[in-house]
Amino acid sequence: MSAPIVEGWAWPLNMRKAHYVRKGTSLCGRMMYLGSHLEPDIGPSPDNCKECQKRRLKEVTP
């Protein structure tokens, strides 16, 4: 049994940018997201929220 995805990029309809959501809150702290549609992180994209991107990069960069 695989664990459900609990974090990833969320792009709600009313947002211009995707935010990286973990446990219902974006990394930048500006957005709450309780939906289940999360895209896996595939690297930097111009469509991503800059603050979320920066924090996410810090996590994955040694």
Residues that bind Zn ion (CB under 5 A): 19, 26, 28, 49, 52
Separation of alpha carbons 36 and 24, rounded Å: 10
Closest approach, Cβ 48 to Zn ion, in A, equals 8
Smaller CB separation from Zn ion, 3 or 42: 42
Separation of alpha carbons 21 and 10, rounded Å: 6
Strand-by-strand arrangement of the 19-22 sheet: 7-10, 19-22, 25-26
Closest approach, Cβ 47 to Zn ion, in A, equals 11
Smaller CB separation from Zn ion, 1 or 60: 60
